[in-house]
Amino acid sequence: MSLAVRVIPCLDVDGGRVVKGINFQDLRDAGDPVELAKVYDAEGADELTFLDISASHEGRATTMEIVSATAEQVFIPLTVGGGVASVADVDRLLRAGADKVAINTAAIRRPELIAEVADRFGNQVLVLSVDARRAAGTPSGFEVTTHGGRQSAGLDALEWAARAAELGAGEILLNAMDADGTEDGFDLDLIGAVRREVAIPIIASGGAGAAAHFPPAVAAGADAVLAATIFHFGKVRVGEAKDALRAAGAAVR
C-alpha cells in the first residue's frame, strides 16, 4: 500500500496577513491566516504550511502568536518556516504548536544546523525548503537561490538536496522558482531530477494552476503537492485537487 499523496495549502504570511490576495466571501478578514487555516482544515487539507515570507530578510523570528493561534484552530500537521536560524528557534516553534519546521537560508549558511535539528527533535520535524531555478553553469542545470529567488546561493540544487538528506532532513519542500506564480503547472523536470537523488519525501511547490496539474507532479516523483494562489482565490478547492489525484490512480486520504 503506497502512502497517500498529501495536498498542502500554503499560507504566505507578511506582517500577520496572508499575502496572495484572497477572495473567500465567507471569511470575515480575507487576510487572516487563522481563519484561512480553519477553512482549509474543514476542506480536507492533509497539512498546512505557514511561511513568514519577510522574516529572513528582515532578520527576525517568525510571529509566534499567529503560529499559536493557527495551531489551536487546526487539527492537521502544521509546518512553519521563515527566519528559522537555530535549534532554539525550532524549539520555540514546536512549543508554539508547529509539528514541523521549514529551514532554508540558515541551512545554506551552516549545513550542520540540519544535523543539529534532526539529532535534537528527529528527522520528521525538519523540512528543508529548497528554492531552485534553472542555471546553465551548474552540474545539474539547477541552482539554489535565496531571498525569494532573487539571489544565487552558489549551490547545485541536486547536490544540495542529496547532502541535506544525508545530514538528516526529513523531507524537501521543493520550490520551483521558474514556475512560481505562473499557474502553468509544476516543474516536472526539477521534481524528477531531485527524486533520482533522494529517498526522502518531496513536496512539490510552484506553478499549480489547475486540478489537472497535480497528478503529473506526483507521477514525476512528488509525495505531496503544495499550492497557494489557486486555493486562496478559490480557483481550485482542496477536494478538487484530491479528486484529480484519485482519478489518476494516486492514493489520497
Active site residues: 12, 131
Query: Count of CB atoms within 10 A of residue 154's CB?
Result: 11
Pairing of strands 78-81, 48-52: parallel
Residue 171 is classified by DSSP as E
**Rounded Cα gap, residues 156 and 220, in angstroms:** 20
Helices then strands (H, E): number in the chain?
11, 11
Residues belonging to the chain: 253
Which residues 6+ apart lie within 8 Å of 249 measured at CB?
Answer: none
